[in-house]
Structure 1
């Protein structure tokens, strides 16, 4: 499930030791830089490529490896942060958020893109030959890229400002606690499309892999509801607290 827009997986506890705060500041700053690079590079390529519909596969190859794959893999540290108590986020919701991204990035994008070692088992669903035009998977990849990228730039920037002792402007606060209403459905829909497209090639690797992806699609329904309502509840708590302070 994509958006950690209002989750607290990178928010430190109030009495966090200074070395831990310094580490979390560097982690959020590096993550911000990586996601900003992914997002801006994707946007510039989308503007530059002509005609864009025929060249969308090139965007995948320019961004996925190693940039996007490494950037999303780094987020696995957030589960560890929650486990050891560096941050306030519940382990369960943090794991759900990170695991769903790992599934899409490493379980679908990696084995089923053109040029993959596994693509011989089935047609690649994303990143094919530009001469053949874009596939539905290429559009779904862009949906993931921009939904994830915008969400994470806002979130990591928010925490980096807090950890660095800077004031967070009201417009940034508004973005953090409102953009998930649009970005979450966009991201989750794109992820589901990629998994759905991966069902047939997954069956050619092993029938159980196909059933695994089907089970994940089924889990996405209640999982998305849990995380979406969690983010809404988090937003209400933050805004109520803000109004009391004001």
Structure 2
């Protein structure tokens, strides 16, 4: 059994790590938001995807650590809920945007980037201030209010990206395996993307209503105080 002194030291190390993680993520998503806005204010020769690609790959994939944080008890979050939220974004970034050109065109990408970046700047800022002592009320209010508009926008952007990608995936047979093969296994990536789009039908309302419940707890408690 660890001594109280050792436990306190480990607790402080975890706290400092989480402070650093949330600070870096706040900066990272601020950079992505800046690049998104700057792209439309001063269009150049690069595409939107090429403009944000490096930052998006780094900071979105870094969010996989949040599943570890939840699973190890570093934060009080559901590992399953966290895993789904992170996985849906990682699939779009790595399995759709990296893999196809079609997903990078149209409204899907800018909608997703707009919703993701604003949401994450607010979310990580909340976590950062909570860890160092107190969260300004306006930031807490934004955390539990902006999702009402941003969540549907983000989901719409994600679905548009996946929908545009699935046609190209089908035509090129990306990441798919046909019989016969040495593994005696068949896999169709286009069908998987269809399945993922269908999953949004039951899961989006649940997560959306869950956030309303969290909003009532967080802001209702503040009002009662």
Regarding TM over 0.5, the answer is yes
Equivalent in 108, 118, 123 of residue 155 of structure 1: 123
1:75 aligns with 2:63: yes
Larger RCO of the pair (alpha carbons < 8 Å, separation 6+): 1
* Aligned residue in 1 for 2:148: 181
Taking the TM superposition and a 5 Å limit, the aligned residue runs for 1:35-54 are: 35-49=29-43
- The alignment's TM-score, normalised by the length of structure 1, stands at 0.79
Q: Which ranges of structure 2 fall in alignment gaps of 5 or more residues?
A: 1-9, 177-186
* Aligned residue in 2 for 1:230: 210
Instruction: Give the whole-Å Cα distance in 2 for the aligned partners of 1:223 and 1:103.
Output: 16
Deviation string, structure 1 residues 45-67 (Cα, Å, up to 9, x no partner): 211117xxxx6x62211111x21
Q: Which ranges of structure 1 fall in alignment gaps of 5 or more residues?
A: 1-15, 114-123, 127-134
Aligned length: 203
1:110 aligns with 2:101: no
Equivalent in 163, 184, 189 of residue 196 of structure 1: 163
Residue 93 of structure 1: how far off its partner (Å): 0.8
Q: Which moved more, 1:198-207 or 1:90-99?
A: 198-207
Kept after mapping to 1: 8 A contact 2:103/2:162: no
Instruction: Give the whole-Å Cα distance in 2 for the aligned partners of 1:140 and 1:48.
Output: 20
* Aligned residue in 2 for 1:140: 108
Deviation string, structure 1 residues 117-163 (Cα, Å, up to 9, x no partner): xxxxxxx342xxxxxxxx42xx2111111100000000001111111
Deviation string, structure 1 residues 18-61 (Cα, Å, up to 9, x no partner): 111111000000100100001111111211117xxxx6x62211
Deviation string, structure 1 residues 197-233 (Cα, Å, up to 9, x no partner): 1111111223711100000000011111121111111
Instruction: Give the whole-Å Cα distance in 2 for the aligned partners of 1:31 and 1:219.
Output: 28
Larger Rg: 2
Instruction: Give the whole-Å Cα distance in 1 for the aligned partners of 2:81 and 2:210.
Output: 9
Aligned-residue Cα RMSD (Å) equals: 1.6
- The alignment's TM-score, normalised by the length of structure 2, stands at 0.86
Structure 1 consecutive aligned stretches of length 4 or more whose deviation exceeds 4 Å? none
